Amino acid sequence: MSFEVLILPTSWFRNPKTDLSNLRYLINKGYNKPRKTFGIIETLRIISTDSFFDDLAVLPNDQLNFFLLLGTEEKFQNLENNGIYRDFKDEDVQNAFGCDIPKEYRSLFPLSDLPNAKIKIVDSDFKLDDSYLKRVIASTGLRSYDKVSKPGEKDVILTTYCSFLSHAASDFLDFLISNCILNPKIFKALYSEPLSDFKTIVIHADCIIEHNLIDYYTGKCKFFKSNKPDISIASAAGGYKQVIASRNFNIGFLYRRIDV
């Protein structure tokens, strides 16, 4: 077995004793990669643990489920034995790619093994310590979508979609849809509603167009461009959702419809 999947459910986020520090480091490391590549966004994705929910636009009554793809301890021990150490806590944008799996070691994590991954929904008192953080390969979050759903439709929005292994993000998303979202037992555990109440699950996404993500989502992740108009953000207008930018940019909207 090459992979494990941890699900951090809404109950974990609602526990006031939950330490979000390592999750913040993880998210910032993932988002620092487009910050370095494109030079548009100047702020960290999560400014501090105190602003965690505000920075992700999570409201008090929202559902937030977070999925982590982990490599096994044995595989990462192999990396460390070869001098490969990952430091997610280094938030310097110049070191944005420091946690990516080097090309010569990608064979340790064959994505063809992903269907065999063991899935675990953590308890509300689970500690996301360094032993888990150093093994993260990809992450995906799904939070409540701020629109009224149609009858028989469940709407969620994709967030914190990050990968540290080439091609892992899109494969992991497909895995989550097939093995978690469309799994009646897991769906009920995450959403407190039976999957049978729905005919369709719609995953929405918004992205910075200048990060070349429209083609990525439509080409790799089976999304479609929404009819919702793009939003133009002026860098001098005080930021967008507390984001400071070096120049103007545009937000595009997409969706993926899943039949239940």
* pLDDT tens by residue, the chain, 260 residues: 789 999 999 999 999 999 999 999 999 999 999 999 999 999 999 999 999 999 999 999 999 999 999 999 999 999 999 999 999 999 999 999 999 999 999 999 999 999 999 999 999 999 999 999 999 999 999 999 977 778 999 999 999 999 999 999 999 999 999 999 999 999 999 999 999 999 999 999 999 999 999 999 999 999 999 999 999 988 765 555 677 899 999 999 999 999 99
Contact 67, 140 (CB under 8 A): yes
Cα distance between residue 23 and residue 46, in whole Å: 10
What is the amino acid identity at position 154? K
- Whether residue 102 lies inside any domain: the answer is yes
- Whether residue 213 lies inside any domain: the answer is no
Residue 101: domain span:
3-196
- Whether residue 241 lies inside any domain: the answer is no
Rounded to a whole number, what is the distance in angstroms from the first to the last CA of the chain?
29
- Whether residue 41 lies inside any domain: the answer is yes
Q: Give pLDDT, residue 241.
A: 62
Cα distance between residue 137 and residue 173, in whole Å: 13
- What separation in angstroms does the CA of 26 have from each of 113, 171, 246? 23, 19, 23
Q: Give pLDDT, residue 240.
A: 57
- Whether residue 210 lies inside any domain: the answer is no
Burial of 77 (0-12, 13-18, 19+ CB in 10 A): exposed
Q: Give pLDDT, residue 108.
A: 93
- Whether residue 132 lies inside any domain: the answer is yes
Q: Give pLDDT, residue 58.
A: 93
Burial of 24 (0-12, 13-18, 19+ CB in 10 A): buried
Q: Give pLDDT, residue 97.
A: 97
Q: Give pLDDT, residue 239.
A: 52
Residues listed for the chain? 260
Name the token pair of 196.
């049978």
**Residue 26, CB-side half-sphere exposure with 13 Å CA sphere:** 29
pTM of the model: 0.95
Q: Give the chain's domain count.
A: 1
Identify the bridge partners of residue 243 per DSSP, sorted by sequence position. 240
Contact 8, 128 (CB under 8 A): yes
If we measure between CA atoms, which residue out of 7, 135, 138, 147 comes closest to residue 64?
7
Contact 67, 139 (CB under 8 A): yes
Q: Give pLDDT, residue 237.
A: 55
- Whether residue 173 lies inside any domain: the answer is yes
- Whether residue 230 lies inside any domain: the answer is no
